[in-house]
Structure 1
């Protein structure tokens, strides 16, 4: 597992380190950015050194067996302290954050000194790149070393989870809130690694073989690290996900309006269509000017509906309302079905050249729309590209288009008429 998870986490951490390096160059005096940059550097070193091939090669080059253990675990403690520092700089003014960080750094420095002394006392001569902790857990000096290491790391993780989760409720930006929660979740996941290491300490004392649980240590460490990496970087790039989701939603809306647009505008009133059919046939491949094309599709549907006003029949609306209620429809769903039935009947009547019967014409042209929607064409009631009114208009017309294409009530009304 170490051969796969640790290289993956090392690559992710080095990528995050380089990504944050740009931010540090732009804001060299921002302590929070510096802290997270240092944290990613330490995390990248942790997983790079922990890769078995790197572990063994480093020990051979230095000539000290298992020195990689001290280096990687020391970086883990430093990483935990750096994350705490970053969160404190986010949460508190600079002077208060420095005061809170100072004692944490002193505690971390003391723990690192004790760990170095105990590691030297342990004198681990047998090279163990994949199961070092399990192999040396019975050594009393290493057991004490492990207590200091796990304690320093666990305290840092708990502090990170507490600060991150608490501040997420107050964060002003959505992706900052998500990032803080992911960071807190990553810290909590890392506590699983600490639990396994505590079991390694207690196992020899209780006569329990802890090898069966060892696979959980790299799994929790790797999963926690990846969550922290994503959590600390997502505030900078998460808005792109939002933008992509919005683009996908607009693309789907554009496609879902196609049945209604083809019937009401392209076939029934082609004069309202801006682009010729040959251009429109390939437009699903283009996303560059999607906002404009979606806006135009709404406009053309509304203009096509205006051209159908002489053929809108109030009796069709009454029949659709009756059949829709019998089918259990209500609210906006019923209104959309009624409007779709009226348009479908009007399109058919116009194609036959027959207006609605005398006295049945919907002279005011009002559509069966939700309360607050305007009854006329998009151009006439001030729908603007990208505005809230346009979003409501798109939502409504997508409902109508879906009913136009799929509703059995619409088909039943046309058959009845």
Structure 2
């Protein structure tokens, strides 16, 4: 497998999952114009992929069947145009962005018209017998527009990244590197076509440069545009995992308090131990509910703790207080603060509750 095919396969493996991810995000915010544009960008990229295969996956300046080649390059030009629109609608007021989008459509339309005219005028012969001038004009038109669009997108990305959120800024910077490499790759493609049209031998280094610039730039583009959403989901997954762990670590404390005060449960559905241990759904809801129920239970048992004094560990005193409650000993009049955190945040509170819960687990063992 040569380098061209390898990079093409890698490009496809990254591209299609990224497109599916953007479509999913679009269903969550269907009125977000910028998200529509970035999804359309990846959709154009994905749609150009099979047309490139139909055209023989050729390297410039070699021609493939002209019709699939036309559709491939129209979609690639659409990719660049939607990229420009993504930045315009992200950074400018809607009315100004629309005006700029119409202006950007002028060179796009001109490039498509020239490529379509070349396609219509191309004789019905095998690709290797196509007129050199026709093939050169076709490729030059596409390459000039793509290089212009990619260079513009690079400038847009760098400018927009300055005022963006950290995750979006990192994604845009990665994408801008891809744009910069792609613009250089586009310039090398223009040079290849011009050298070929002039009838001179194309330097081997120039041919290799087109492969190792254009394809990696496409990969960086997909990664950069997908990074903010993926990073957000990774962060959400990290919080989900932390809540799941804390939920189960609070189990010993919650179980003892729930046995003493079942009426304080926020849910009236009986808890199935196996389902509770294995379920991965509703983690955040169950986590917050368990924290609240633990704190409520400690408030209820605190008068018994205050009556016992400060001798012994909190876990031992809590166990004794729960036994006193179970024996229906007279309830003391005043309570006391229990397991107070050092800070004011929920995480500080949960850490204290988890420490107490694990002390109970150790004492029971």
TM range (shorter): 0.5 to 0.7
| Structure 1 contact 108–152 (Cα < 8 Å) conserved | yes
| Structure 2 contact 158–176 (Cα < 8 Å) conserved | no
- Structure 1 equivalent of residue 175 of structure 2: 186
* Structure 2 residue 99 is matched with structure 1 residue 99: yes
The 2-side partners of 1:195 and 1:16 are apart by: 29
1:180 Cα shift? 7.0
RMSD: 5.3
The 2-side partners of 1:214 and 1:180 are apart by: 28
Structure 1 residues 21 and 397, CA gap change in structure 2 (3 angstroms): closer
In structure 2, which of residues 245, 254, 261 is the aligned counterpart of residue 261 of structure 1? 254
* Structure 2 residue 220 is matched with structure 1 residue 227: no
- Deviations along 1:56-81, one digit per CA (max 9) or x if unpaired, are 49xxxxx9735544442343223212
* Structure 2 residue 39 is matched with structure 1 residue 55: no
1:183 Cα shift? 5.2
| Structure 1 contact 298–394 (Cα < 8 Å) conserved | no
1:6 Cα shift? 5.4
| Structure 1 contact 77–149 (Cα < 8 Å) conserved | yes
- 5 Å-filtered alignment, 1:6-405, equals 7-8=12-13, 11-12=16-17, 15=20, 39-51=41-53, 54-56=54-56, 65=65, 67-112=67-112, 125-126=127-128, 149-167=142-160, 170=163, 178=167, 182=171, 185-199=174-188, 201=191, 207-210=203-206, 212-213=208-209, 216-217=212-213, 219-227=215-223, 230=226, 234=229, 247-262=240-255, 265=257, 269=260, 274=265, 279-280=272-273, 282-286=275-279, 287-288=281-282, 291=285, 294-304=288-298, 306-307=300-301, 309-311=303-305, 316=311, 341-342=313-314, 344-347=315-318, 349-350=320-321, 365-367=336-338, 369-370=340-341, 392-393=345-346, 395-402=348-355, 405=358
- Once the two structures are overlaid, the 10-residue window that deviates more, 298-307 or 77-86, is 298-307
- Structure 2 equivalent of residue 4 of structure 1: 9
TM-score scaled to structure 2, two decimals? 0.63
| Structure 1 contact 260–404 (Cα < 8 Å) conserved | yes
- Deviations along 1:15-58, one digit per CA (max 9) or x if unpaired, are 5797699799x76xx9767755654553233212122xx2249x
1:152 Cα shift? 2.8
TM-score scaled to structure 1, two decimals? 0.57
- Structure 2 equivalent of residue 356 of structure 1: none
The 2-side partners of 1:12 and 1:350 are apart by: 56
Structure 1 residues 316 and 216, CA gap change in structure 2 (3 angstroms): farther
Where do 5+ consecutive residues of structure 2 fail to align?
1-5, 58-62, 325-331
- Structure 1 equivalent of residue 3 of structure 2: none
1:346 Cα shift? 0.5
